[in-house]
């Protein structure tokens, strides 16, 4: 906890916050249907998602008339045509999207690039990934949290200068953090920022906050060695304590013991993740491991159905426009704020990166 606790305290005390007018909510799933199972087990899990996801989202509705969304970050090193075809069909039925997840260990720069190029091609063959037809764009979550060789024990990556390599093969943003209480947690918290890739590793441990308007950071968007980092909420939860004494870590994870609730939504919103100069647009990125059975209750069970209903009522009562977004739409709205756009944030879902062909 030491690495991020002091930055969190400073952020909590000194971050500028404004009245929220628009709330963007994205669920980013480290979606691993092959986790501790074989292909038949993976297909059974997919069948369960086909059955349950439409049921838990069908009654939801945001300010744009959109249902609740779920972005599947699929581990491209585990590509299987039949499983991904099932996932693509689920996205086609529900309006959801797929992005890139990757586990690798003791890798090389060339090996990483080869894996990404093949993974992007595999997913694109199913009509997945946004961006231009000739230049797919993808969001990225690093397996085992070890972005840019950041695990202090040296596991789960091996490639430094990784942000530049990701950017140059079409990555529009990394969405790995937060990872606390894991040892890979970066000392930057509750931020949207650009990190400059370096050969030293841990490049995302520092960066430039995304800023709006004339003092904006849009030039970094086009830099070959800077990548956008989109973090989810991270804080201490003093209403839940370990051993009755120590506050628990709220890391925006929808794990088996942590279903989404309106109470947690209040904590996520208080983290105030936003573009500097456009603090009225608030971005909440959640993460989960929803493919295997332990992740089902929080993601495709009654808890999620209840959350949508109660949360929608809460934000309406507060006069806030809710926008259920994919990770691609989330980043598009971030860039719109960066470029000085204002008003209803939902108008900018496809601002730069177009929808995947599957949904076109």
What would the pLDDT profile of 15-37 be if each residue is shown by its tens digit?
888 899 999 999 999 999 999 99
The helix-helix angle for 81-94 and 39-57 (nearest 10°) equals 0
Q: Which of these ranges, 211-220, 264-273, 325-334, has the smallest mean pLDDT? A: 211-220
Mean pLDDT of 293-316: 97
- Res 246: pLDDT: 86
Q: What is the pLDDT of residue 132?
A: 87
CA dihedral 197, 199, 205, 209 (to 10 degrees): -20
Residue with tokens 């608030």: 282
Q: What percent of the chain has pLDDT over 70?
A: 99
The confidence score (pLDDT) of residue 257 equals 85
Q: What is the pLDDT of residue 241?
A: 80
Q: What is the mean pLDDT of residues 141-160?
A: 98
Angle (nearest 5°) at CA 86 between 75 and 133: 70
Average pLDDT, stretch 339-356?
97
Please, what is the average pLDDT of the chain?
96
pLDDT of residue 245: 80
Report the pLDDT value the prediction gives residue 36, as an integer from 0 to 100.
97
Reading the block at residue 190, the tokens are 């509750």
> Has residue 196 got a pLDDT over 80?
yes
Over residues 284-312, the mean pLDDT reads: 97
Choose the weakest-confidence range: 43-47, 230-234, 238-242. 238-242
- By DSSP bridging, strand 226-230 and strand 281-288 are unpaired
Q: What is the pLDDT of residue 201?
A: 97
Q: What is the model's pLDDT at position 264? A: 98
- Tell whether the model's pLDDT for residue 1 goes beyond 60: no
Residue (of 154, 148, 165, 146) closest to 200 by Cα position:
148
Residue 145 Rama label (left phi>0; alpha psi -120 to 50; beta): left
Range of weakest confidence among 14-28, 164-178, 300-314:
14-28
Q: What is the mean predicted confidence (pLDDT) over 56-61? A: 96
- What pLDDT shows up at residue 213? 83
Selection from 345, 287, 337, 347 nearest residue 23 by Cα:
345
Q: pLDDT band for position 353 (50/70/90)?
A: very high
Kindly state the average pLDDT of the residues 171-195.
97
More confident residue, 132 or 146: 146
pLDDT of residue 15: 84
Task: Give which of 79, 89, 85, 96 is closest to 27, Cα–Cα.
Answer: 96
Question: Mapping DSSP to helix (H, G, I), strand (E, B) and coil, where does residue 107 land?
Answer: coil
Write down the pLDDT at residue 2: 78
| pLDDT (0 to 100) of residue 16 | 80
| Percent of the chain whose predicted confidence (pLDDT) is above 90 | 91
Q: What is the mean pLDDT of residues 79-83?
A: 98
For 2-359, the fitting CATH number among 3.20.20, 3.30.70, 1.10.260, 3.30.190 is 3.20.20
Distance CA 98, CA 139 (A): 9
């Amino acid at each position: 906890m030491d690495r991020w606790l002091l930055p969190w305290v400073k952020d909590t005390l000194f971050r500028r916050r404004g009245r929220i007018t628009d709330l963007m909510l994205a669920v980013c799933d480290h979606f691993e249907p092959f986790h501790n199972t074989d292909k038949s087990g993976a297909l059974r899990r997919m069948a369960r998602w086909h059955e349950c996801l439409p049921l838990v989202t069908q009654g939801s509705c945001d300010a744009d008339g959109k249902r609740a969304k779920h972005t599947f970050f699929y581990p491209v090193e585990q590509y299987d045509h039949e499983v991904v075809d099932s996932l693509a069909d689920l996205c086609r039925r529900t309006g959801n999207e797929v992005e890139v997840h990757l586990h690798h260990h003791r890798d090389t720069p060339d090996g990483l690039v080869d894996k990404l190029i093949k993974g992007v091609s595999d997913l694109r063959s199913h009509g997945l990934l946004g961006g231009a037809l000739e230049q797919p764009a993808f969001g990225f979550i690093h397996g085992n949290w070890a972005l840019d060789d950041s695990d202090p024990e040296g596991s789960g990556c091996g490639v430094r200068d990784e942000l530049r390599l990701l950017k140059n093969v079409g990555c529009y943003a990394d969405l790995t953090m937060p990872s606390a209480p894991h040892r890979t947690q970066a000392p930057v918290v509750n931020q949207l920022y650009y990190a400059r890739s370096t050969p030293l590793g841990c490049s995302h441990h520092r960066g430039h906050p995304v800023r709006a308007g004339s003092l904006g950071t849009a030039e970094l968007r086009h830099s070959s060695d800077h990548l956008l980092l989109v973090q989810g909420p991270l804080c201490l939860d003093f209403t839940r304590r370990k051993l009755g004494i120590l506050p628990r870590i709220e890391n925006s994870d929808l794990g088996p013991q942590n279903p989404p609730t309106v109470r947690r939504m209040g904590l996520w919103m208080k983290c105030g993740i936003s573009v500097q100069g456009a603090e009225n647009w608030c971005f909440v990125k959640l993460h989960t491991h929803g493919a295997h059975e332990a992740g089902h209750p929080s993601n495709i069970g009654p808890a999620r159905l209840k959350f949508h209903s109660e949360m929608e009522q809460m934000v309406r009562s507060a006069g806030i426009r809710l926008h259920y977004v994919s990770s691609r739409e989330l980043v598009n709205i971030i860039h719109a704020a960066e470029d000085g756009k204002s008003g209803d944030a939902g108008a900018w879902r496809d601002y730069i990166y177009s929808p995947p062909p599957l949904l076109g």
